Structure formats: C-alpha cells, structure tokens
Amino acid sequence: MKELRHLNKYFRKYWVKLFLGVLITIIARVFQLVMPSYVKNIVEVVEKYSAGELALEAARSDLLEYIAIIVGAALLSGFFTFLMRQTIINVSRYIEYDLKNEVFDHYQRLSLNFYKSNRTGDLMNRISEDVSQVRLYAGPAIMYGIQTLTLFACLIPLMFIKAPTIAFYALVPLPVLSVLIYWISRIIHQRSTRVQAFLSSLSTFAQESFSGISVIKAYAMEPRINREAGSLALEGKDKSMDLAKVNAWFFPLMILLIGVSNIFVIYVGGMQYFRGEISSLGTILEFIIYVNMLTWPVAIVGWLTSIVQRAEASQKRINEFLDQEPDIADPGTPPVPIRGKIEFDRVSFTYPDTGIRALRNLSFTVNPGETLTILGKTGSGKSTILDLIARLYDVNDGTIRIDDKPVEEINLDSLRSAIGAVPQDAFLFSDTIENNIRFGREQAGLEQIREAAAQAVVDKNIEGFAKGYQTVLGERGITLSGGQKQRVSIARALIKDPVIYLFDDCLSAVDTETEEAILANLKRASRDKTTIIVSHRISSAINADKILVLEDGRILQQGTHSELLETEGYYKELYINQLSGKEN
Ligand SMILES: Nc1ncnc2c1ncn2[C@@H]1O[C@H](COP(=O)(O)OP(=O)(O)OP(=O)(O)O)[C@@H](O)[C@H]1O
C-alpha cells in the first residue's frame, strides 16, 4: 500500500463526499437486511394460518404489512444504493481526472531525454490503463469494501443470534470461496496482463504497417506483412483462450460453493426443525437468503485483494514517472525580455543516451538582429546547436550566453517564448491548416494567418485546396507534400514574431525558386531579429552576416560569404558545386 499513499492527497481533497458515501453505503446495507427476517415472518404467518392458529383476516393484514415493509425497505435500499454510487463512484472519477491531469502536466515538464528513453506506448499506457486500475481502487474497491464490512458486521452476529448451528454450517464454505476467488483473480490478472502486453505489441505492429504502407507496397511486402500479422493473431488467440479458460471457472465455482452452503442450511435447518430446535421453516428460508446475500461480498473479498494489488502495481508505475525530475529545470528567475544576443563560449556537448560527442569546444557570437548561417556535412552538429539554444539539453562544458547571461539562469518560459523554431522534420498536428499556423500565436486572426502563409510562400497552395485554411491534415500532415509541410511550419514560426528565429534545414524540400522567394521574405521578416539558419545550400548563406562551417562538432571555417570565397576550402567548393549545378 506504500505506493497508493500518493492518492491520500486526493482522498483528503474529497473527504466530505467520501464520508457521506461511506455513511450512505452503511444505510443502504442496513435497509437490505430487513427483507430476510420479514420473509421468515411471512412463512410463519402462513404456517400459523395453516395450523388454524390465525384467522384469515388477521393473516391477510399481517401479510400485507410485511410485504409493505419489504417493498419499502427494498425501495429505500435501492435509493441509497443509487446515492452511494453517486458519491463514491463519482469521487473515483474525480480522482481519475485529477491523476490523469497530474501525470499529463508532469509529462509536459519532463525533458526530451525522458521521451527518448521511454516508448510512447508506455507513456500512453501509464496515463490511461494504469490510472484506470488505480481508479478501481479509489472507487469500486472502497465502495464494495465498506459494503462487505457492513454486511459482515451486521449479518454474521445476527445469524449467530438467530440460529448458531445453521449459521456455522452456512458460513463454513464461504472462506473457501473467498480464497478460491482470490486465487482465480490472480491468475486472471496474470493472463490478462499478458493479453494486454500482447495487444500493445499488436497495435504497434498494425500502426507501423499502416504508417509505412507506402514502403510496404513499394517493396511488394504485403504477403510477408500478412504472414507476420497472421502469426501474431494466432499468438493473440492462444493468449485470449488461456484467459477465457480461467475466466470460465469464476462463476461455476461461485455457484458450486453457494450451492454447498444452501445444502448445509437446508439439511442442518431441516434436522433442527424435525428436532424442534427451530420453530419455523421460515428460518431456513431466511438463512438461504442470508447465504445468497453473503455470496457476492465474500467473492468480492478475493476480488478486492487482487484489485488493491493491481492498483498498487499500477500506482508504482505511475510514481516512477512522477518521481522523475526534469533534467532541464527552470531556474526560478523572474521573466525577462530577451534582446537576442547569442554567444557560445567553448561549448562541448555529448548526448547523454548515445554518448555521441556532437560539439567540441565551439565558440561564436551572434548579435541581436544578425543572421548566422551554419553549414556542414550531415552529422556535424548543426541541429545540436539549435537545440542547445532552446535549452532542450544543457551543455557539458563551456557556457551558452543569451544577452550575456548563462542560458541556465534565464527564465525558461521567457527564453522559449522568445524563440521561433522550425525543426528539420516539420511536425503538424491532425488539425486544420489554420490551427496549425495559429499554434505559433494563439490569438492570431485569419488575416495574420494568411499573411504568414504568404510570407512562407504556401498561401497559393492552401487556397488551392477545396477547404482552404480549413483543410484538416491527416496524421502527421500526410495530405501535404514535404515542401508544403515545411512551409506551413515556417508560417507557424513567422506568426509568432519571436526575437530569435531558428530555422533547421527547413527549405530542403522546397525548389530553388520558391526557396529564393522565401529567403527574401525571411530577410524582411527577420530584419531586427536574431536568425540562425541551418542549411546545406549556399543560397541560405549568401546574405548572412556570419557563416559557420562545421565538421565533426568543430568550426572548420567562419566568415562572411565574400571572405569565405577568398579562402580555399569546404565553403568555396560547395559554392562552385552548387553554382555549376544551377547553371546546368
Ligand atoms: N537526439 C539525439 N540523441 C543522440 N544523439 C544524437 C541526437 N541528435 C543527434 N545526435 C548525434 O549527434 C551528432 C550531431 O547531430 P546533428 O543532428 O546535430 O547533426 P546535423 O549537422 O544537424 O546533421 P544533419 O545535417 O544530417 O541534420 C550526430 O552524430 C547524431 O547522430
């Protein structure tokens, strides 16, 4: 129960409702207890009438009175049962809601490293499946637990007071039932966990096959994928059958043990009746009803135990994530306006998970309003520089300063709000194009969105779609071409109107003519902004105030376009190659 202590704060939050719920549960149970003894009274009235001890009129009025009491108690019990669910089950839903929000908020705070070391499926599972398991503890388990306790506390003494011998024999099989149900619930849990785990691998397989359908078709891999799907389905069927087999034991076992209890009650009760130890057959009927009332709660003791164990395991998994602190912590300094000076001072950086040394002793400065273009072979560390500026990672050695202050000391929100980043792999949400662009500035109107799209030279494309800006993009924006996606992503950064622009090779899928138009627009839009453009094309570098050429995480060359053309090296070679390519 150590892990489940995490929920205590929520129990405290909703204690009034919970307390009411407990009270109502007890009341609902007490009303339920009325019925069996009045059934017994009814049988006694009939017995007395048959023996001629009671006149018809008196018997009728007694019967009517008892029936009215039974119906009244049943109605009241039903009403309180309704209230019980309205309180306790509602509280469990509130707790589920709060816990999901807590986990989601925490996920949002965690750094990129966390997302790299945990699979998306696992993150989703903990926030949905595990939270649902925990809810079963916070609601149904508490509700049924109190119900069962109340019932045991009232009914068992009552049974012993009324007829101790029958009570003893009626109760003997019930602990066996409880243990058996516990045992079966555990096996059911183990097998259903296996089925669940299998289902998540099946959905991962299905999701990959659907996402990669164009590759599968292009390589004519459908038969192989079908075969793999077939064998996975077979494995799934076997696992589900295993589960179905133990599930099938649950109710028969319960019925068997109730049956045994009932036979004991009838046999022992019958013998006592013959011996005159009990006065009425009504007592036997009353006890049969008691046994039936006890069966479900007894079975539930086993079920509850396994629910609490599962909830504990699930909460443990949730706590594992909740206990993780973000690697990138906000320094807690007050928000500051950012002017846009960026300085790398002997910065080295190694990716913690792969141990790849991406940057080595790198120094450069970009002043507010300047444009820096970074060129270099693939894997030379260009994107890493942009990630470090946005503080997606912290450096190992050296210092990055923004406006002459170490980046770690700057309010994280101020820093990231000042940056408009266009990543290499444009990610668009499954939403309208309008909302995808508006993501950069929540309060932007349609006019501003159109303007941003025009600057990113994607407006004509968007207007060409039947639904224009209302076109909904599929998963990962698959309805757009690579170049269109890049340009929508640029529009999203432009509409943000940030202090610092970070463009990561975001024109790679755009033809050179459109690229030139966009670059001219960007030049205008970023006139007084600090701009860093990562690229493989000389065209992005020609007008830059500074150019860095990287190789293996180090600066190979730096200068302006004209300076670099005067020196032999990577830049000049690239220029000549791309120029001759263009001429051809
Ligand atoms: N998230 C990451 N985790 C671990 N290693 C990474 C990560 N991103 C990049 N690397 C490694 O760091 C090195 C530099 O990568 P980076 O993406 O900065 O290069 P790049 O110059 O931008 O390349 P490209 O031009 O292909 O985009 C590479 O060796 C790469 O494998």
> What would the pLDDT profile of 45-88 be if each residue is shown by its tens digit?
998 898 888 888 999 999 999 999 999 999 999 999 899 888 98
Atom of ligand 1 nearest to the CA of 381: 18
Predicted TM-score (pTM) of the model is 0.75
Stretch 436-448: mean pLDDT: 89
Confidence of residue 328 (pLDDT cuts 50, 70, 90): confident
Shortest CA distance to 38 belongs to which of 286, 280, 242? 286
| Same domain, yes or no: 524 and 458 | no
| Same domain, yes or no: 141 and 55 | yes
In a domain, residue 333? The reply is no
Residue 73 has a pLDDT of 93
In a domain, residue 354? The reply is yes
| Same domain, yes or no: 565 and 466 | no
Is the CB–ligand 1 distance for residue 379 below 6 Å?
yes
Scored b (16 or more CB within 10 A) or e, 408-446 reads bebbbebbeebbbbbbeebebeeebbbbbbbbbbeebee
Q: What is the CATH number of the domain that holds 542?
A: 3.40.50.300
Stretch 317-326: mean pLDDT: 88
| Same domain, yes or no: 475 and 567 | no
Confidence of residue 226 (pLDDT cuts 50, 70, 90): very high
Residue 281 has a pLDDT of 86
> What would the pLDDT profile of 275-287 be if each residue is shown by its tens digit?
988 888 888 988 9
| Same domain, yes or no: 151 and 24 | yes
Residue with tokens 């019967």: 63
The residue from 322, 351, 386 where one domain ends is 322
| pLDDT above 90 as % of the chain | 38
| Same domain, yes or no: 81 and 135 | yes
The residue from 322, 350, 379 where one domain ends is 322
In a domain, residue 328? The reply is no
| pLDDT above 70 as % of the chain | 98
Spatial separation of the C-alpha atoms in residues 288 and 35, rounded to whole Å: 12
Residue 510 has a pLDDT of 79
| Same domain, yes or no: 505 and 487 | no
Stretch 159-177: mean pLDDT: 87
pLDDT exceeds 80 at position 95: yes
| Same domain, yes or no: 270 and 409 | no
In a domain, residue 329? The reply is no
Q: What is the CATH number of the domain that holds 294?
A: 1.20.1560.10
In a domain, residue 222? The reply is yes
Range of the domain at 441: 427-496
In a domain, residue 292? The reply is yes
ipTM: 0.94
| Same domain, yes or no: 301 and 403 | no
| Same domain, yes or no: 146 and 107 | yes
pLDDT exceeds 80 at position 200: no
pLDDT exceeds 70 at position 475: no
Pocket probe mutation, ligand 1, options 116, 327, 354, max atoms within 8 Å of Cβ: 354
CB 579: neighbour CB atoms within 10 A?
11
From the CA of 294, how far away is ligand 1's center (Å)?
A: 65
Residue 371 has a pLDDT of 92
Q: Check if the beta carbon of residue 327 is closer than 8 Å to that of residue 111.
A: yes
The residue from 447, 471, 496 where one domain ends is 496
In a domain, residue 373? The reply is yes
| Same domain, yes or no: 153 and 296 | yes
Q: Check if the beta carbon of residue 268 is closer than 8 Å to that of residue 166.
A: yes
| Same domain, yes or no: 450 and 576 | no
Atom of ligand 1 nearest to the CA of 354: 4
Is the CB–ligand 1 distance for residue 461 below 6 Å?
no
Is the CB–ligand 1 distance for residue 489 below 6 Å?
no
From the CA of 385, how far away is ligand 1's center (Å)?
A: 10
pLDDT exceeds 80 at position 177: no
Q: What is the mean pLDDT of the chain?
A: 88
Is the CB–ligand 1 distance for residue 381 below 6 Å?
yes
> What would the pLDDT profile of 335-373 be if each residue is shown by its tens digit?
999 999 999 999 999 998 788 999 999 999 999 989 999
Is the CB–ligand 1 distance for residue 380 below 6 Å?
yes
From the CA of 358, how far away is ligand 1's center (Å)?
A: 7
In a domain, residue 331? The reply is no
Count of domains for the chain: 3
